[in-house]
Every structure is written in structure tokens, then in C-alpha cells.
Amino acid sequence: MRSISYIVIHCTATLQSAKVESIQNYWKNNLKWKSPGYHKIIEPNGTVRTLAPDAAVCNGVKGHNSHSLHVSYIGGIDAKGNAKDNRTPQQKAAMERVVREWKRQHPQAVVQGHRDFAGVAKACPSFDAIAWAKEVCL
């Protein structure tokens, strides 16, 4: 198994109605990525879709992927495209389950949001993931 230093929380920065397949197509066809952006993506109804095994390296945060696990919820912006924490209760619960399980397997890993990495100018995941992780993981 890879050594995991970070469990990274993301939003897709799409409307909540976005489909996992269209997000995957965007990565593949527009960004020309060979691997997905996240290991797991959480739909508004709480369904967790696994896009890559934990052993795989995904494209979540440039420069930090070899030692990170990435999970994202679908959403994170309002109708005007501004950052907004619009996680559904089901997405929050599912994210908590995913992160707790990863933290159990990788107790040394730091849980943080995409925006918490130095030099990242994005709002992703549109909420304070460090504070959230303290509530749900400790």
C-alpha cells in the first residue's frame, strides 16, 4: 500500500445535478487526464461512487497526489458559480463514513481541504474541512 500523508476533501465545483459520467468525460476529454480526479465521489443522495482503488494515484492536488487519497461531493457552487457549501445531509453522512474509514487505515494522515494546501487559489471544497474533520474524526 502507498504511504498516505493526506486525506483530501474536494467539491466538484459543478451544480449538484452534474452526473458522475459527465465529470469523468470532462477529465478524460477536456483535461486529457489518464486517471480520475478523485478516488471517491459522493452524489447528492449519499451514494458513494468509487472511481479508483485506494492504491491508485488520482489527480486531486498537483504535487501531492502520490501520497494522498481524494474524496469529493458533487456540488460546491451556487447557480451563479460562487463557492457555496451545499452538501446535502446524505453527502455529509457519507463523507464522514469515507473519511473515518480512511483515517482508520491511515491514522497518520492529515485530513484537509484542497484549498488548505499552500499555493492553491481555489475555494474547493467550499467549507472548512480541517474544522469539519476535527468534529467527525476525533
Q: Smallest distance, Å, CB 134 to Zn ion?
A: 20
Residues 119-138 that bind Zn ion (CB under 5 A): 124
Q: Report DSSP state, residue 127.
A: S
Residues 2-41 that bind Zn ion (CB under 5 A): 10
Q: What angle do CA 116, 120, 123 make, to 5 degrees?
A: 70
First to last CA, the chain: 24
114 touches Zn ion by CB under 5 A: yes
Q: Smallest distance, Å, CB 91 to Zn ion?
A: 15
Find cell 497526489 and name the residue: 65
Beta-ladder partners of 113: 9
Please say which residue, 94 or 123, places its beta carbon nearer to Zn ion: 123
Please say which residue, 16 or 104, places its beta carbon nearer to Zn ion: 16
Beta-ladder partners of 77: 83
Binding interface with Zn ion (CB under 5 A):
10, 114, 124
